[in-house]
Amino acid sequence: MLTAKALFLASLGVGSFLKAPMVEAHPRAAAPTPVMVPIRSIGPRERDRIAQHLLALAPHDRYLRFGYAASDEQIRRYVDGLDFERDELFGIYNRRLDLIAMAHLAFAPAEQQQDCAEFGVSVSEHARGRGYGARLFERAVVVARNEGVGMLFIHALSENAAMLKIARNAGATVVRSGSESEAHLELPAATFDSRMSEIALQHYAQVDFQLKTRAKQFWAFLAELQEIRSGVRAARDRSSP
């Protein structure tokens, strides 16, 4: 029987439920210090955040993410067409609640083989070099396993070295065909541990998001209060003889 203490420790990244893949290393530290990376499920109410993240990508980054030079209109159509009922989307947020990295785990449509899924990822330029792409991939693997997926695919341009490195490091088989490459990773069946990992990871990310939301609201309140005080002082100065 899983105790409440075990669940709590799991949500904090302690114990077998959360393993090393869900941490990042501080790039400036002489000895890398493990830091939890909260990865939160993204729902349909966050289409605007998704669009802002993707539209901010440079042209070459859009080319690597989508396999073609996606225009603003094409990105908006992609965001509008996201199926949150079928697929899973995950994101990493900064303290301002900007979406700085996101992954799309697309499950096969009803008429196709149901035990396959495809993974796509994008990371904002200023947030690269922290292993976010790999962390998102590992989260996608956990979810895919728990959904009964036996094979995870990645379609990428052959020049997308970062994406292909993530796939190879995870043990995927990569097949190159000219300008495009395909990686496929066989997934083991879901276990009790994998299911509890998903619950704990989502709980941790949700708590992190709520704390960031409250902090943002608090700082906005302080800024507004400071503005009011500045206005009052300015009015006093103008009215004084």
CATH of the domain at 93: 3.40.630.30
Predicted pLDDT of residue 23: 40
Greatest mean pLDDT range, 72-76, 200-204, 211-215: 72-76
Say if residues 117 and 152 touch (Cβ distance below 8 Å): yes
Determine phi and psi for 84, rounding to 5 degrees. -75, -15
User: What whole-number distance in Å separates Cα of residue 30 and Cα of residue 203?
Assistant: 31
Predicted pLDDT of residue 231: 60
Q: What is the DSSP string of 98-154?
A: -EEEEEEEEEPPTTS-TTEEEEEEEE-GGGTTSSHHHHHHHHHHHHHHHTT--EEEE
User: What whole-number distance in Å separates Cα of residue 208 and Cα of residue 12?
Assistant: 11
Predicted pLDDT of residue 153: 92
Task: Give the β-pairing of 173-177 and 180-186.
Answer: antiparallel
Query: Which residues constitute the domain of residue 151?
Result: 38-226
In a domain? residue 80: yes
Total number of domains in the chain: 1
Closest Cα to residue 136, out of 225, 21, 25, 219? 21
In a domain? residue 32: no
Amino acid letter for position 85 = E
In a domain? residue 9: no
Considering the chain, what is the average pLDDT of its residues?
Answer: 80
Instruction: Decide if pLDDT at 29 tops 60.
Output: no
User: What is the number of residues in the chain?
Assistant: 241
Question: How far is C-alpha 49 from the geometric centre of its chain's CA atoms?
Answer: 12
In a domain? residue 233: no
Closest Cα to residue 118, out of 92, 137, 100? 137
In a domain? residue 18: no
Find the mean pLDDT for residues 123-138.
93
Determine phi and psi for 104, rounding to 5 degrees. -120, 115
Find the mean pLDDT for residues 178-185.
91
* Least confidently predicted of 51-55, 70-74, 141-145, 204-208: 204-208
In a domain? residue 222: yes
Say if residues 133 and 21 touch (Cβ distance below 8 Å): no
In a domain? residue 29: no
In a domain? residue 85: yes
Instruction: Decide if pLDDT at 123 tops 80.
Output: yes
Find the mean pLDDT for residues 115-134.
93
Determine phi and psi for 139, rounding to 5 degrees. -65, -40
Q: How confident is the model at residue 64 (pLDDT cuts 50, 70, 90)?
A: very high
46/203: higher pLDDT: 46
